[in-house]
Structures are given as structure tokens and as C-alpha cells.
Amino acid sequence: MTVLGHQPPGPDEATGPPAPPPAAALEVLRPRLRTAGQQFAIGPGWRRLVLDCHHRISAEFPAYELLAVKQKYGRLSFQAFPRPWRPGERSWTPDEHARLHELLDATIARSESLCERCAAPARLRRTRRLWLTLCDACEATVGESGELD
């Protein structure tokens, strides 16, 4: 409810970020994987970001092929082709490739300021063997190994 033009705080301001989706939510991506059985190597705080990316890409490239979803140097790495790659064929146009990477670049940029563990605003931390993007609270909680779950 708005009182005298004052907006109540949004959910992030009042209660923090929404709870990350369960790991099982990423199973919707599994049929897209080029290599069956591959794991999604990301923290719970990035699951919603990955699902949003998947939905945006699916809307424009219904047959896209997923190569990997992982964390690399504190950033999301979502590796995909506009459609399955076939040796000896031109599988997509330069415009399709550029558009896919435009979508991916926007998602990767968001990952640079989103906590891998809880989805709160965060920054890159180089305080462990693994570089991680963490909020202050998770920086204090995550152990030296960098395990997020």
C-alpha cells in the first residue's frame, strides 16, 4: 500500500533476496545438454539467473544446444549454440551467433554482482583458491574450500 506517495520497500529491501530455486529446477536444462550427465557447476544463488537465461534463449532459439553451465573466475559461464552443431555444416548464421551472445553477455554481466550462494548484491572475492562472487554475509560464511551448498 502506498501512503502519501511513499512506496513500501521492495522484497529485496525488506526481506533480502528471494530463496533460490532448488537444484532440481535446473533439470529443465538437461535435455539441451550436448553431453548427457553433465553437472551444472554453479551455486544456488545463480540458479534463478540461469533459469531466466534459459527462458530468454529458448524464446529466440527453440532448439538451442547447451554445452556447459558453470562458474569460472567468479562469473557465470553459460556456453551454448543457437542450435545443435553439425560437423561440416554451417549450423547458424553470424546474426544468430551475435544475438545469442548478446543474451549471454547480459546474463554474465548480472552474475558479476549477484551472490553465487544467496542471490544478494555481491562483488568478486579473491580471498580463496576459487574466485567467488559473494555478498558480505556469505563472504564471512563460506569456507576456504569455496563450497557453496
Q: Render pLDDT for 31-64 as a digit per residue (tens, 0 to 9).
A: 999 999 999 999 999 999 999 999 999 999 999 9
- Residue 60 or residue 13, greater confidence: 60
Q: How far are the Cα atoms of 8, 74, 101 from residue 139, in angstroms, in the given order?
A: 29, 13, 30
- Tell me if 74 is assigned to some domain: yes
pLDDT of 146 reads 82
Asked whether residue 115 is assigned to any structural domain, the reply reads yes
Burial class (CB in 10 A: 0-12, 13-18, 19+), 96: middle
Judge whether 132 lies within some domain: yes
Q: Is residue 11 part of a domain?
A: no
Residue 129 lies in a domain: yes
Task: Using the CB atoms, write b or e for 48-63: b if 16+ within 10 Å.
Answer: bbbeebbeebeeebee
For 86-95, write each residue's pLDDT tens digit: 899 888 999 9
- Whole-number average pLDDT of the chain: 89
Residue 6 lies in a domain: no
The total domain count for the chain is 1
Within a domain: 76: yes
Residue 127 included in any domain: yes
- Percentage of the chain with pLDDT > 90? 77
Domain that holds residue 106: 20-84+91-141
